[in-house]
Each structure stands twice: as structure tokens, then as C-alpha cells.
């Protein structure tokens, strides 16, 4: 709810999309860790031209291929998890307390939200299933935590 309110209020008081993204980048609603959210490479004016949508789609696919995997690696390091062995700090998640499981689950969910917000700020759309594919191990880990 805080994230929705932050987004709505910031859009009221910012001039354009890049100002809004800068505000959101500095928002404390994206978890406690301070990851740099890259800003968009293209202005909205360039998106209105001929071929803008195709170029944006190509850039999105390239970004997902290169930065998606990097984001996954950074997230697993930050969260201290192993998505292949389903461990947190070298402890199997089935041996964690309920409070610890809830904390880890919340942190993983926040990492997934960060990826979505980063993608949205860069490409002005919500990421679809193909754009989320590099994070599949993190989604599977999150599902296992539930």
C-alpha cells in the first residue's frame, strides 16, 4: 500500500517521468538495501517516433538478457541465499523458524519488486513473463518459502 501511495503522490508533484523515477529511486519503500536503480536511456519524445516501439522492445530484450542475470546474482548475494539448494546462510529453509522464514520471504519479495520497478522505469511498461524469465530461480525460491 505504501508503494502505491508513494507512486501516486510522487506523480502529482513531479514534472515528468524521469523526475518521478528519480523520486522513486530515492524512496525508502524499496527495502533497506540501497541498490542503484538505473534510469531510462530514452526520453518519451523519442518513443513517439517511427519505429520507437520496436527499438524499445529490442532494448528491453537486450537489457533482460544482460542485466537480468546480473540482477539475479546480485540479489542472491544480497539475500545470502542459494536458489539451487534452497538455503539461507547455509541453513536449509525447512530448518528455519517461522519468523526467519517470513523475514526471508519478505526480503525476496522486495527484490522481485525492485526488478519490476527498475524495468518499469527503464521501459515504461510492466515486465511480462519473458522479461521475468532470468529471475525464475528467485521466483521458485519464493514459492518454496510459501
For residue 113, being part of any structural domain is answered with yes
Q: Largest Cα–Cα distance of the chain, in whole Å?
A: 56
- Please tell me the predicted confidence (pLDDT) of residue 73: 96
Rg of the chain taking only CA atoms, in angstroms: 17
Task: Quote the domain boundaries for residue 81.
Answer: 52-145
For residue 2, being part of any structural domain is answered with no
Question: 105, 142 in Cβ contact below 8 A?
Answer: yes
Interval 41-87: pLDDT, tens = 444 444 444 456 777 788 999 999 999 999 999 999 999 999 999 99
Give the contacts of 28 (CB within 8 A, at least 6 positions apart): none
For residue 116, being part of any structural domain is answered with yes
Q: How many domains does the chain have?
A: 1
For residue 32, being part of any structural domain is answered with no
Q: Which residue carries 534452497 as its cell?
A: 86
Range 37-42 average pLDDT: 49
- Mean residue pLDDT of the chain comes to 79
For residue 27, being part of any structural domain is answered with no
For residue 33, being part of any structural domain is answered with no
- Please tell me the predicted confidence (pLDDT) of residue 56: 77
pLDDT for residue 28 is more than 60: no
- Please tell me the predicted confidence (pLDDT) of residue 7: 66
Vertex 105 angle, CA 22 and 85, to 5°:
115
For residue 127, being part of any structural domain is answered with yes
CA dihedral 5, 10, 11, 12 (to 10 degrees): 90
**Alpha-carbon distance 68 to 59, whole Å?**
13
For residue 128, being part of any structural domain is answered with yes
Q: Please, what sign has the CA dihedral across residues 14, 107, 65, 144?
A: negative
Share of the chain above pLDDT 70, in %: 64
- Please tell me the predicted confidence (pLDDT) of residue 17: 61
DSSP string covering 77-115, please?
HHHTEETTTTEETTEEGGGS-HHHHHHHHHHHHHHHHHH
Question: 96, 88 in Cβ contact below 8 A?
Answer: yes
Amino acid at each position: 500500500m505504501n508503494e502505491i501511495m508513494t507512486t501516486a503522490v510522487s506523480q502529482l508533484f513531479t514534472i515528468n517521468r524521469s523526475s518521478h523515477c528519480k523520486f522513486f529511486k530515492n524512496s525508502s519503500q524499496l527495502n533497506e538495501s540501497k541498490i542503484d536503480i538505473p534510469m531510462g536511456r530514452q526520453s518519451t519524445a523519442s518513443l513517439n517516433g517511427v519505429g520507437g516501439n520496436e527499438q524499445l522492445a529490442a532494448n528491453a530484450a537486450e537489457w533482460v538478457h544482460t542485466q537480468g542475470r546480473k540482477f539475479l546474482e546480485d540479489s542472491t548475494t544480497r539475500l545470502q541465499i542459494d536458489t539451487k539448494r534452497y538455503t539461507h546462510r547455509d541453513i536449509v529453509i525447512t530448518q528455519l523458524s517461522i519468523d526467519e522464514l517470513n523475514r526471508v520471504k519478505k526480503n525476496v519479495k522486495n527484490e522481485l519488486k525492485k526488478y519490476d520497478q527498475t524495468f518499469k522505469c527503464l521501459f515504461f511498461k510492466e515486465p511480462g513473463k519473458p522479461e521475468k524469465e532470468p529471475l525464475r530461480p528467485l521466483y521458485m525460491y519464493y514459492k518454496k518459502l510459501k
